Structure 1
Amino acid sequence: MEIRNLKPEDFDDMIQLGEYAFQYCMSAEAKENARNRFKSENTWGVFDEEGRLGAKLVLLPVDIFVYGKKMPMAGIGGVATWPEYRRQGLVKELLTHSLKVMNDSGKLLSMLHPFSFPFYRKFGWEMFGEYKKYIIPTDKLPAKQVTEGTVRRDVTDIRVLNQVYEAYAAGYNGMMVRSEERWKHSILDDEGHTAVYYSPAGEPEGYLLYKAEKKELLVEEFVWLNEESRRALWTFLSNHDSMVTQTVVAQMPANDGLTYSLADPRITQELVPYGMARIVNLEGFVQEFDFQGSDKQQSWTVQVKDPYAPWNEGIWQWTLSPAGKASVAPGAPNDKVQLETDIQTLTTMMLGYKRPIELYTMGKLNGEAEAVKRLEHAIPFGQTFLLDYF
């Protein structure tokens, strides 16, 4: 077996495998558009001795927000194997190889959408958040309110949408930085609508991506920067009351407080596990991370298990300055370990999905209680969220 980048001449084989594995059929136009956007350096495959493609995956190099800071990430998508090659360890080899590629190229994190959470946990990825989905009968929508500013429908200026999106995304851990290409080819489509809220000063401060069909409003993205924009956009949706019987809001942050503001909060809401993440380079990530400051320098001796990214495995000395900046150095075998965990737990803790004390109580983070408490104060509180799929 050989692992290598797919070449342009492998494109049709890649599409054929994707169509078979994910059970869809790509139109000739869509296939040609995909061919024009194909990037060999981001696509990897496993080939047998006769040069036939057995399995493949795609890396999506983007930045994500972590406590307001942009960090380099590689998303993994399109993982597929022909049935005759399954259960031969091909995906394991691809993932292991991809981790090395990501590390060598300076990526600090990786994310993916799993077909199976247990499968990817084996390789160091971990669930890092959920989203809320609402189904709201029209008579239970938020009350219409008079607001300052204006809502404009079908705004297509990507710069306007992205300006609002980035201001919103910076407040959540895990949100992707979107390129113009991603907006054009993965976010916006000809069947949907947009609605943008502009403040009285003319600044865009919120938007909706939605569709109206079969007596239903489907809101794919509801992004708001302040209470005024939130109220204005809900009023805009409520003004569809003569057209629809219900509104479905597909994805909202897990901590969204809509039901508290409703006259009748008994609506259908679902909490959906969404996405997995893993630290690719522990040393680089921790040193880029913005901790909470304190009145003195702190340190931890941390032992981490990560067999599929061996550059992360072992004992590490973390030293945190009063300003909240960390330095990380390899520890010695005879160092007294204060905390012990694996890369999955470390990822979910650093991204803010689970707190150190909670993980300690669950037995996922082991060691000295005092060291756990200090880490609890050092890691900021944050909310995870991800709107994108890849």
Structure 2
Amino acid sequence: MEIRQLQREEFEAAIELSQYAFQFTMSQEDLEKSKKKFKPEQTWGIFDGHDLNAKLTLLPLQVYINGQVFDMGGIAGVATWPEKRRGGMVSRLLTHALEEMKSAGQSLSFLHPFSFAFYRKFGWETYIEYKKYVIPIDKFPVKLKTEGTVKRDVKDILELDQVYQAYASRYNGTLVRDKEWWQERILNENYRTAVYYSETGDPQGYALYKIEDKQLNCDELIYENETARRALWTYFANHDSMIAQGKFNYVPADDNLPFLLDDPRIQQETVPYFMGRIVDAAAFVKRYPFEQIGEETSLTLSLTDRYAPWNDGLWRLTITTKGQGHLERVDKSISSENAIVADLKLGIQSLTTLMLGYQQADDLYKWERIEGSSESVSALKRVIPVKQTFLLDFF
């Protein structure tokens, strides 16, 4: 068995496995389009001779964490032929992917799981959920006159991305989109856009939506300020002769729209979405902007990580008064006679969900996902910024 990147002539083998594993069939036209976009260097496979037995795609992406941009490895398209399953191939591929990500400087990894329990075994953990609303047209927010204008079917990527970046950088885990991502994955020909411009002509909000069968389906409602939000909702409400209801997907978990409605009793659903994983703890901590609390913080962490052994061990976490973190391994430099007792013990999953902001240190301590003294837990909590996680994209 050999693990290697695919070659261009192996596109057919890869797409055949994907179609079988994910139960879809591509037309000849779509196959040709997909073949032109195929990047074999992003797909890793396990081969038995010339036969592709299992594969995954490793996407070089970037995400916002506490307002900073981090390199992230996106795992997608994990598939194995049924007769080859239960043989540890996915485990080998994921372990190899972690090594590749570390080498590439991707200190984080995200994936969309077919099973949360399955990927938890390999160190990934839930880091984001989103809300979905179904709102009858007569319960839409009240129409309000606002300054500025809303223009329909704007496809200027620079303007859309300007608004998106201002919005996305407020959250943890949102994707940094490049021009190709906008073209290939966002500006789908079946969707329309509506952009709000301020009185001075600055784009400050947009919506990505489509209307079919008397329903408005909105996948992105992005706004920089309250005026933009009101203007876009008024634009939607002006479709009252065309639609019976609106379905709003990918809404941040901390959204407060129901409170603002005259009748907040609308259909709401919370959906667990992506999983995240710290790939390289030392590299991640070095770039992570901790809270500046006016005093230095020092804690000894016992970190467990079965599938990324470079993270596994005893570390000293130091955070300066300016919020600069440093993770120094200490278990390699001490003898058993002088063993250091860790202030806190936790796994890579708990560290990930904590530092991404999805869970708080005292809750993880209560659930016994962190072990140690309550004083050490409180010290750790003080230096972790409180930030909502969110993701609008899929891969």
Provide the TM-score with structure 2 as the length reference: 0.97
Aligned to 2:9: 9
Aligned to 1:222: 221
- Residue 303 of structure 1 aligns to a residue whose secondary structure is strand
Shift of 1:262: 0.1
- Residue 65 of structure 1 aligns to a residue whose secondary structure is strand
Shift of 1:326: 1.0
* Deviates further, 295-304 or 31-40: 31-40
* 1:173-322 mapped onto 2 (5 Å cutoff): 173-322=172-321
Shift of 1:30: 2.2
Aligned to 2:326: 327
Structure 1 counterpart of 2:391, which letter?
L
- Whole-angstrom CA distance in 2 between matches of 1:12 and 1:120: 27
- Residue 277 of structure 1 aligns to a residue whose secondary structure is strand
Structure 2 counterpart of 1:368, which letter?
S
Which of 354, 371, 380 is the aligned partner of 1:375? 380
Which of 332, 346, 351 is the aligned partner of 1:341? 346
Paired residues, what number? Answer: 389
Aligned to 1:357: 362
Describe the superposition over 1:238-297 as per-residue Cα deviations: whole angstroms up to 9, x where unpaired. Answer: 111111111000111000000000000000000000100000000000111101112221
Aligned to 1:75: 74
Describe the superposition over 1:60-104 as per-residue Cα deviations: whole angstroms up to 9, x where unpaired. Answer: 111100011000001000111111111111111100110000001
Shift of 1:115: 0.2
Structure 2 counterpart of 1:294, which letter?
I
Aligned to 1:42: 42
Check whether the contact 2:208–2:220 (CA below 8 A) recurs between aligned residues: yes
- Whole-angstrom CA distance in 2 between matches of 1:114 and 1:38: 22
* Deviates further, 25-34 or 212-221: 25-34
- Residue 373 of structure 1 aligns to a residue whose secondary structure is helix
Shift of 1:29: 2.5
- Whole-angstrom CA distance in 1 between matches of 2:204 and 2:384: 29
- Whole-angstrom CA distance in 2 between matches of 1:203 and 1:6: 45
Shift of 1:40: 2.1
* 1:123-138 mapped onto 2 (5 Å cutoff): 123-138=122-137
- Residue 194 of structure 1 aligns to a residue whose secondary structure is strand
Shift of 1:34: 1.9
- Whole-angstrom CA distance in 2 between matches of 1:105 and 1:243: 50
- Residue 58 of structure 1 aligns to a residue whose secondary structure is strand
RMSD of aligned Cα (Å): 0.8
- Residue 160 of structure 2 aligns to a residue whose secondary structure is helix
- Residue 294 of structure 1 aligns to a residue whose secondary structure is coil
Q: Which runs of 5+ in 2 are unaligned?
A: none
Describe the superposition over 1:31-69 as per-residue Cα deviations: whole angstroms up to 9, x where unpaired. Answer: 222222222221100111x32111111011111000110
- Whole-angstrom CA distance in 2 between matches of 1:312 and 1:147: 52
- Whole-angstrom CA distance in 1 between matches of 2:116 and 2:129: 13
- Whole-angstrom CA distance in 2 between matches of 1:43 and 1:108: 19
Shift of 1:363: 0.6
- Whole-angstrom CA distance in 2 between matches of 1:214 and 1:283: 52
- Whole-angstrom CA distance in 2 between matches of 1:296 and 1:90: 47
Shift of 1:192: 1.0
- Residue 33 of structure 2 aligns to a residue whose secondary structure is helix
Shift of 1:27: 2.2
Shift of 1:28: 2.3
- Whole-angstrom CA distance in 1 between matches of 2:294 and 2:215: 55
- Whole-angstrom CA distance in 1 between matches of 2:294 and 2:394: 41
Q: Which runs of 5+ in 1 are unaligned?
A: none
- Whole-angstrom CA distance in 2 between matches of 1:69 and 1:41: 27
- Whole-angstrom CA distance in 1 between matches of 2:22 and 2:308: 29
